[in-house]
Amino acid sequence: MKAVILVGGEGTRLRPLTYSTVKAMVPVLNKPFIDYVFRYLSNHDVNEIILALGYKPDCITDYFGDANQLGVRLVYSVETDPMGTAGAVKNAEPHIDDTFFVMNGDIFTDLNLTDMLRFHKNKGAKVTIALTPVEDPTRFGVVETDNQKRVKRFVEKPKREQVTSNMINAGVYIIEREILNRIPKGKRFMFEHDVFPSLLADRGPVFGYATEDYWIDMGTPEKYLQLNRDLLCGKSTQVAFKAGDICVGKRSSVNPQAKLTAPILVDSDCIVGKGVQVKGPVIIGAGCKINNGATIENSILWQDVTIGEQAVLKDCIIASNSYIENNACIECATIA
């Protein structure tokens, strides 16, 4: 089975983090986000992954190569201009020969792809769209289905009084290859606005696969912080971390007079000084130095970050090679 991951553009919603690091490579529990996606797909017998790349493709190709170590084969499909979700898949058409998965590149989910594929085949679908419930569907595109799970219509960001369902497009699809014939070559085209509604209008068999498995779009700093927090607290089946865990990496030192409150993940070669308070969930990347008396709460530090003495960080994301001055007090900030 093959899958296309839509890595695409620079991830404007994650700025300023993505000025220097592409969205797919931002660290999650100190590993590149896309690494989790590869392993997730491999666990569902996806043996070839086509990466639809746009912005800074070398950041990914140089790091992963052919990804044989992950048990999958990587194929790179690079677009010179943004082609939209469907246009990017059309660009990868030479590598697609049968039914395939499509997945937005900023989605983390425990969705059972194996069961979703079984559903797709049993329904005789041309397209199956994964659906997930949300508390406020007015911010998303709502998908209405009948009692056979066949999609009836799409409602883009409905008003509160128009809401008839809380199930939204989860950004994971199963698509029959013939659907690529509906996508013009070399033109910006979107599955959500062009392909799926058109297929529905032609009474094509489009089905919705509903799931309540863990799902998050980590495309904003707030959601990125939440994803890391959720994984530290054991909310995903893909990560064996638990809310009470404190994990300190090799060659890292923690002063006996520092106070650590779980959950906390500290990578290798870090120094945590005297009187430091780390109040989880907190993730500290490799080579970080937390100087005496600093406080870090509900935050993520990438690699080689230095936190000054008596500095206070709360609800922050600090990118690699940053320096926080002594006595600084920073809350709800993204620093790159």
In a domain, 313, yes or no: yes
In a domain, 43, yes or no: yes
Please indicate, yes or no, whether residues 257 and 151 belong to a single structural domain of this protein.
no
Please indicate, yes or no, whether residues 130 and 175 belong to a single structural domain of this protein.
yes
User: Measured between alpha carbons, how far is 334 from 301 in angstroms, rounded to an integer?
Assistant: 10
Please indicate, yes or no, whether residues 215 and 304 belong to a single structural domain of this protein.
no
Query: How high is the pLDDT of residue 177?
Result: 98
Please indicate, yes or no, whether residues 194 and 101 belong to a single structural domain of this protein.
yes
Structure confidence by residue, pLDDT tens digits, 86-106: 999 999 999 999 999 999 999
Question: Do the Cβ atoms of 27 and 232 come closer than 8 Å?
Answer: no
Query: How high is the pLDDT of residue 201?
Result: 95
Query: How high is the pLDDT of residue 66?
Result: 66
In a domain, 240, yes or no: no
Assess whether 126 carries a catalytic annotation: no
Q: Which one-letter DSSP state was computed for residue 78?
A: E
Contacts of 250 (CB under 8 A, 6+ apart): 268, 269
Q: Which residues of the chain have pLDDT under 70?
A: 8-12, 66-70
Please indicate, yes or no, whether residues 88 and 135 belong to a single structural domain of this protein.
yes
Structure token pair of residue 212? 């309540």
- Which residue is catalytic, options 2, 123, 126, 157? 157
Query: How high is the pLDDT of residue 140?
Result: 80
Q: Are strands 295-297 and 277-279 parallel, antiparallel or unpaired?
A: parallel
Distance between first and last Cα of the chain: 38
Number of domains within the chain: 2
CATH code for position 90 = 3.90.550.10
Please indicate, yes or no, whether residues 108 and 192 belong to a single structural domain of this protein.
yes
Please indicate, yes or no, whether residues 150 and 267 belong to a single structural domain of this protein.
no
User: How much is the pTM?
Assistant: 0.92
User: Measured between alpha carbons, how far is 180 from 71 in angstroms, rounded to an integer?
Assistant: 27
In a domain, 229, yes or no: no
CATH code for position 270 = 2.160.10.10
Please indicate, yes or no, whether residues 171 and 88 belong to a single structural domain of this protein.
yes
Please indicate, yes or no, whether residues 298 and 159 belong to a single structural domain of this protein.
no
Domain that holds residue 176: 2-220
Strands (E), 80-205: 100-104, 107-109, 127-133, 141-145, 151-156, 167-175
